[in-house]
Every structure is written in C-alpha cells, then in structure tokens.
Amino acid sequence: MNSRDRNETPMFSAESRPLGTGGGNASSATLGSVSQRLQPLRDDVRLLGSLLGEVLQRHAGSGVFDTVEEIRGLSKAARHGDEGSFQLLADRLAQLKVEEASQVAQAFAHFLNLANVAEQHHRIRRRRAYRRAGAAPQHGSCEEVFRRLLDRGVPLSTLQKSLHSLDISLVLTAHPTEVVRRTLLERFLGIAVLLQQGDREDLTQDEENERLEGLRREIAAIWHTRQSRRDRPTPLEEAQAGLVTFEKSLWEAYPRFLRQVDRALVEVGGEPLPWDRAPVRFGSWMGGDRDGNPFVTSEITERVCALARWEGALLFRQEIEALRGELSMERGSPELETEVGTEEEPYRALLRRVVRRLAVTQEWMRRRVRQESVETLDPQQLYLRKEQLLQPLLLCDRSLRESGCDEIADGRLRDILRRLAAFGLTLVRLDIRQDAGRHRAVMERILSHRGEQDFASRSEQERCAALSQWLDSEQYCGLPWLRPEELAKIPFGDDEQEVVDTMLALRGIGNEPLGSYIISMAKSASDVLIVELLLRCLMASGGGGEAEGREGAGQEVRALPVVPLIETGADLEAAGETIHQLLAVEPYRRHLGEHQEVMIGYSDSAKDAGRFAASWGLYTAQEAMAAAANRHGIKISFFHGRGGSVGRGGGPTALAVKSLPPGTVGGRLRVTEQGEMIRAKFGLEGIAVRTLEVYLTSILETSLVPPPSPEPEWREAMDRLAERAQRSYRELVREHPDFVPYFRQATPEVELGALNIGSRPARRRSGGGVESLRAIPWVFAWTQTRLLLPSWLGTGEALHQAVEEGEGELLSTMYREWGTFRSVLALLEMVLAKAEAPVAAYYDRLLVDDSRRPLGVDLRRRLGVAEEALQHITGEDRLLASNPVLRRSIDVRNPYVDPLNVVQAEVLRRLRVLRQQEELSPEEEAELVRAFTITVNGIAAGMRNTG
C-alpha cells in the first residue's frame, strides 16, 4: 500500500516513560523545533498506548494482544511502502472470527480515541506554556489581535465600542452521526484530568503511581464499556447531553474567557467589559429542530425548555450557595440591611432566599420534564426571568462596592453576573425549525375551511399582497384570524396539527427560553410572511387560548423572529431578490424593526451543487442579500448552518470567518456547532476558552478590518470554476445511472441508517436517490471509506481544466492575494491529505459488483487530478507541507485507521452476503453489527469527524 512519508508513534508496546517523570517540560511543549514541541504529546500517547496494551493482555488475553501487535506491524509496513504487507494485513484480518475482529477493532478504536484526548490536552498545555515562557502572544489571542488592530490604525475607542456591541451566538445542535456514548465521554474527560496532573513537575513518586493507576482504571473501564447505544437516543436525551457541556466546561470557561478579554483590554489602555456585556451567547436546536424528525413534537419542545431551566437553576443554585459561604461579612450597605432586617450576616440572609427560590424552580422544572404535577409548589417562588435573579445579586454587588470590598465583588459574584448575562436562566435559547411546506399546508387548510381554495395557485406577488393585508390588520373578511372556536373546527392533518400545536405551546413557554423560528427550505417571501402571520395569531395573540399554569402565563409574549433558511443552489441564486420582495412588504418591515436574520445552509447546498460551487454560491448570495437589505435601510445578519466536516462547511473557525464577504459580518454572527464538534471545541475547559477567544477575535477583526472585495477578474474566474465544478459534480451524482447503486454498495450508507446513533431518520423520505438523503449521512458514509468525495468532487476537474487552459498563474495569484479563495483551497488540501484512495479501492474490491467498479476507478482518478491541480496552484510539492503539525497528526493516525477500514469492509461483506442468502441468525447479525459499530467509532475518531 503506497503512502506518503509516515512517521508514527508506538502503540501497544511495553515502552513507557519512567515513573515520576511527569508529562513533559512546559517550555518544550512550546519552544524549539516542531519535534521538541510535540515531545510531551508523544510521551502521553506512548504512555496511553502502553497502558492500553496492559489492559488488553489482562482483560482480552495475550492472544488478542499478539494479534493486535501483528496487525499493527503489518499496517506500519504497508504505510512505509511495502505493497505486500497490506495484502497480508487484509488476509490476516479476513481469517479472524467476528468476535476476534471486534476485539482487534476495539483496541485500535480505543487507541485513536485516547490519542485524541492526548492531543486536546496538548493544545491546552502548549497554550499554558506560551504564557509561562513569556513568549509573544499566541496568534488569534485577544492580546495579539487587539494590538494588531491598534497598530493598523483602529482607534482604541472604536475597538472598545465594537467589543461592547459584539453579538455572537453559538447554536448547539444534535448530530445524527455522533457515535461516542456520553458514558465514554465522561471517561475521556477523566483521562484528560489525569494527563493534566502529569504535567506537574513536583509530583512525588507516590502521586505519580496513583495517577498511573487512575489511568489504568479509566482505560480498563473503557474496554469493558459498550461502544454503542442499545436504543436510538430520544430528542430529550440529546438535549440533556448538550446541556452537560455547560456543566462540565462552559460554566467555568465563560467567565475565564471574559477575564482574559478584560486583561487584554487593560493592557492596551482600555477598560474592562461591563458585567452585562455578553459578546458570546448560546442557542440550541436540540428539541426544537423538527424538520424531518417526527420525534420532535410540541410536548418534547416544552419538556426540553423545562430541562434547560432545571439545569440552569441547578448550576446557579450551586454557585450562589458557594457565594453565600464566601460573603460572611457582618455589615452591608444601608440598602442591603433595610432589605434583610436585623440579620447578623446580611449577605447570607439575602442569598438564603435566593437559594430557596432556585430550589423551588429546580423542583418545578424537574416535574415539568417528567410530566408530574406541580400543584404542591408555589408558582410565586419561581425564577422565570433573569431580572428576578438579577435584583438580589446586584444588591449584593452595590453593597460590597459601597463598603469598599471591590475585590470581593469582582470575584465569584462578578462571574455569576456574567453567566446570567450570557446564559440567562435557561443556559440556551431554543430555536424552532420546521419545513416551509408544512406552514404552507396549514395556511391552505385554514383558507380552504373559509371557502377559499385558490391560495396555492396564486402567483407569489398575489400571495404576498394578501398576506401583507392580513398582517396589517390581522383580519380576514372583517373577522379576527384564528379565533379559538374556529381553530378547533378546522380538520388539520396530523402534520398540520403538529405545526399549530407547536405554535400554541410556544406561548405557554414564554419568550425567555426561546430564540428564533427557522424556516427550512424557504424559497420565497411568502414562506416567511405565512409564518409571521401564524406566529402572531397563535403565539403572540393566543389564538388557541393560554394554558393555565405554564411558564409563559401572565407574561407578555411576542412572536419569535422569523428566519428563512436558504439552502439549495437555485434558492441561493434567487436569495437577493427573495429578501428584496420580503422587505418590500411594509407591514412586515415595520414590525421587523432594523434587523433581519437569514440562515444559509452549507450542507444541503454542497450536496446539491458540490462543495466548490456551493461555496461560491453562498458567497455571492450573502453579497446579494446584504445589498437588498441595504436598499430598504435594514441591517442583515447571517446564521451559518455549518457542519463539522469540510463537505458540510466545516473547518477552522478563524479561516471560515475571515473568508466571508466584506461587510456581511458587522459584529453579528450566528453559527451551528454540531455533536462531535461540541465535544472537540468545548469538551475541555481550556479548549473552550480558546474556542470562545478565537470566535471573538476573528469576528472582531473581520468587522473592523473587512477583507478586500475580489477583483473583477477573480470573480469571473470563480464563476467559470463554479460552473465547471457544479457540472462535473452533477454529471456524476445526479446523472450517472450507476452512481447511486455504486454509492450504496461501496459505502456503509445503508448500514449506518440502522445504527442507534441519532434521534433523526437518515432520510427525509423513504426511497429516492442522493437527493432524499440528509447531508450528514451523505458525508458520513464517504468519510468512513476515506474517499471523502463530497468535499472535493467537481473541484479537481474545474481546477485542472483552468490550469490546462492557461489560467494557472491567475489562480496562483488569487491563492496568494485573496483570503476567500485561499481558504477554499486550504480546506480542500486538508481533505485531500486525509483521503486514501487505496482504502476506498479495498472497499470496492470486497463490496462492489464488477460492472460498477470502473466508476470507483474513475472517482479515484479524479481524486488524483484534484491533488495534482491543487499542488500546481499552491506551488507545494506535498500536501500540507506548510502545516507540519497537521501533516504529522494525520500520518500518525493512518496506520491505526487502516485496520479498522479493513475490518469494516470485511464485516460489511459478510453481513450483505449472509442477508442475501437468508442465512443470518439473529445472534450472528448482532455480533456483526456490533463489530461494524466499533469500526464506525474508530474510523470517526481517526478521521477526527464523521460528517
């Protein structure tokens, strides 16, 4: 198996560093050569691999250990260019019984997960070492970016004002291909803590022994823990898993992040941010995203909102109990003493009341989640709005400062206030997402009930005119829209009724836990106007009657902001005109105020048109929508629906932000963070701090110093490239008669849909081709075979043709001078570096009919064309030559991922053959599926993403 130069770390050998040596010197983690900087990481990986080897010998037996070592040796040899070794590897694995293959795969999967934990910890260690060594500020840090902006002529007052007005929202979403169980994530977190202990240079021998025993216990527990869920997770469980991120890392990381911002501001002569400035906030789709997920209902949404309130009450209660222990002062301000009376310890007396109310809130919400009665609880004791909790906390703050205790007020109390500003009482604000077709069906049903059958057949202009009139008066033929008694008589279908029930439920929930209402597959202005009218009637005006005892009862409830989600290539091309038509509707614009949010979808646009064409289409669509909004005097902001992988818009945060069109950021940005990326970016506290910092600095810099607009010649080149890339992509994916059958044979797409790794069905509808498949499993299936086709197909041919036609120098100039084009090619380079044509060919050999194998050969040829064209433009003779750390990270993992691919292909072959022959017993099927699931987990860990 030919490969690029490989340089990997020992895995299961008995080698490990001597006891008591700690985790490596801090300076060596940062200073010196790349090899020196990586030495502590190599030490950690070697240690974890050695301990895993011990666990293998003890718990699986020396036979399994010897087999794993044999497989590893063959894989290493294959990676160093020994063609025969790969065939020996494949033959050896094919000889194994399913149970043996599962154990081998489990060993490699665990090693890759452990290596990922070590790599994440090393990122934190390097950051700390930078700061300890007094080196120059890390690139992208607050210190570095603030100084760079000032050096570029940005006034300090402008910098400070921009920081005050930043509005960044990170929206957590469930991931249908998140394969790692929460139980295992807890174990990985424990290992990270133990690795951190190893960085101490003052560990005694006894302490080091205890640390190593702790690592052994964690790894042994991981070995004996089931890798997959027994049942498909419910939306409520997905939401609960998302909230754990706050408990485990974000709760502590957020105030640390803001203290870091404050220190950097002070260093450049500015003032710390006020406590109520929250530049980054959080949203969620977990329990609100009902697009194609029949398990997300109005009842689930209510319970998820109660769950978020319960978690918020729990965290604030714990924090305020700790604060109460700290504020032991005997005297307070006259205002405080008037509030609490003659108590000896006024702060503790006041906070005792707060803790009691939080306890009632916690219990109320717990019962709401479990759908139990709350009759025995006093609703007057609930904290439902953050202002209610804010009052006593600000009283404590004023009293401390009046008493000269500013340093105490700036401690835990300031952190609590900042959390309240960012998280509210609900931690996240839940977005609601539903397909535009469902709303149109509801509107048509209502009008049909009133004797009007032609709404669907009207032109878009006529529909907008009618909706504009109804929005202006909220009347229809002189009657109020949707009176409760009329609503009950309309014969809605099940799907339509769920839309109505959801909007009615939102009124009972109230506004504070809710974010926006997202319309997926929005194609026209009328799609937005329909939802606006329905929300005003059903949510804000209470068309269905207000539910007694609900959290929103008695509060002013407003219709949620309506956000169109524009996804497909054709809809993106028309997006500018769509926004113009929408904002031309005066009653809508008047109600809107100054700001319109639009969501753009990276996943479905890339699946529709190919990655390159989608990237350029998204870029030009944002420009067109911004221009349309500007014509109407409206500010527009974009909600970027990115996934974790490059094929779904993923990639490094700063690179993504800085490649956006100039003038489209303006200090406001929303972006999705999905499943495994939540863990990667926020799973460890130190990583979470860095992630928040990079979001803040990249958006601040892009807002204050926007990138230049592309030259006309560059635009013309991009138009040509995008047209060629899209044509090439669609000719294969949409028009080639063998593509869909080949895809389903060559990848585990069918088998992935049957695994219990997400609440949402893999397909929007049964049957159909690629168009019916969700973007996530579409990317996931190709990631498993390591062809990664959605991320590069079409791009290579377009670049190659441009080079052949004499445009190579132009493209090289664009690469050097235009950040957007450079980011597209940088992401392409990363994908090509991860892709492995020989592995994909092995899947073809085992799984694909002879008649369809030529298609696979052609796809792998196209992969080579893409690599050759890219290197011609960048001038590099090797992929990732300018990024040796990432190059090595990929190279180290490859020898451990290869055996997992071989096992997976063999397991798929056996499953399919036995199913076709109808010779598969339930026990055999369960064992094969278990082995398959283990390989899915391991390959995802090795590739560092699923989809």
The tokens for 186 are 């807890």
Q: What angle do CA 529, 532, 534 make, to 5 degrees?
A: 110
Where do the H-state alpha helices sit in 82-234? 83-95, 98-133, 142-151, 156-165, 182-198, 205-223
Residues 6 or more apart in contact with residue 447 via CB below 8 angstroms = 453, 455
Q: Quick count: other Cβ atoms within 10 Å of Cβ 553?
A: 15
Active-site annotation holder among 76, 175, 640, 681: 175
Contact (CB, 8 A) for 670 and 632: no
Catalytic annotation on 607? yes
Residues 6+ apart with CB under 8 A from 451: none
Number of H helices, E strands in the chain: 40, 10
C-alpha 588/C-alpha 411 separation (Å) is 45
Q: CA-to-CA distance for 246 and 111, rounded, in angstroms? A: 27
- Residue 121 and residue 190: Cα distance in Å, rounded? 12
Q: Give 438's Cβ-side CA count (13 Å radius).
A: 23
Distance (Å) of CA 727 to CA 608, 619, 732, 797, 878: 11, 19, 9, 10, 28
Q: Which helix (H) or strand (E) holds 678?
A: helix 675-682
- The three-state DSSP-derived secondary structure of 516-582 is EEEEECCCCHHHHHHHHHHHHHHHHCCCCCCCCCCCCCCCCCCCCCEEEEECCHHHHHCHHHHHHHH
119: number of Cβ within 10 Å: 18
31 close to 135: Cβ distance less than 8 angstroms: yes
Catalytic residue check, 872: no
One-letter amino acid of 591? H
Compute the radius of gyration of the chain from its Cα atoms.
Answer: 29
At what angle are helices 62-79 and 884-916 packed, to 10 degrees? 120
Q: What single-letter amino acid sits at 170?
A: L
Return left, alpha or beta for 516; rule: phi > 0 is left, psi -120 to 50 is alpha, else beta.
beta
Encode burial over 478-506: b for 16+ CB neighbours within 10 A, e otherwise: eeebbeeeebeebebeeebebbbbbbbbb
CA dihedral sign of residues 655, 661, 663, 665: negative
Give the active site residue among 386, 607, 658, 681: 607
CA distances for 436 relative to 51, 218, 346, 679, 833, angstroms? 53, 48, 55, 31, 39
Separation CA 606–CA 602 (nearest Å): 6
Say whether 653 sits in a helix, a strand or coil.
helix
Q: How far is CA 660 from CA 454, 638, 666, in A?
A: 42, 10, 11
Strands 280-284 and 167-173: parallel
Element (H, E) at 169: strand 167-173
Q: Residues 213-242, buried b or exposed e (16+ Cβ, 10 A)? A: eebeebbbebbeeebbbeebbebbbbbbbb
Residues noted as catalytic: 175, 607
